[in-house]
Structure 1
Amino acid sequence: MNTREKRDVPAEADPLTRQLLRQMVAGAMQLELSELPDDEGDLVNHGLDSISTMQLIAAWHRRGVEVGFPELMARPTLGHWWELISHPADGTRAA
């Protein structure tokens, strides 16, 4: 992962939890939570597109989560994304 500047996280921002990750991805894909694939299911095969992915990245950046498009699309699964978010290269952690 590239070294990026730290962003100021708004005080009102909810921490990014695994459940919130699932809710945000479902919303971006216009799916119900129950329609999301399991943690190893390919999100692209379930309809995720690049614009929705970029919107998710922007929303996560506003919460102080630094992750990029190439890292996410290398393996577009909820499980992989949670690993990237909860164990970032800079040592900070999601909730």
Structure 2
Amino acid sequence: MTSRPPNGHFTILYFASAGSFTTKNVEALPAPLPLSKLFATLEERYQGIKENVLDNSLVTVNLSYVDMPGGEDGETSDEEIVIQEGDEVAIIPPVSSG
């Protein structure tokens, strides 16, 4: 379990290659943030993360998987989700084993 983010922020957890790319396992970002702006916000902080990590990752908000707006299939069912203060978001890239 992660500690509570500072007031006015949400927690974002980076797993596998997302953590390697950002060199962080967790950080706090300002809330509220529309889910549709999450990838652009992360791209501003970590140039290249969208193409190299996020485009193939799963995303959860408070342990529930969400469909990212504007995906390849045009799915926008979660477009109205707004990440709120105290929420927990996880970026889960594909993991291979061998």
Q: Is the structural similarity TM-score above 0.5?
A: no
The structure where helix makes up a greater share of residues is 1
TM-score when normalising by structure 1: 0.31
TM-score when normalising by structure 2: 0.31
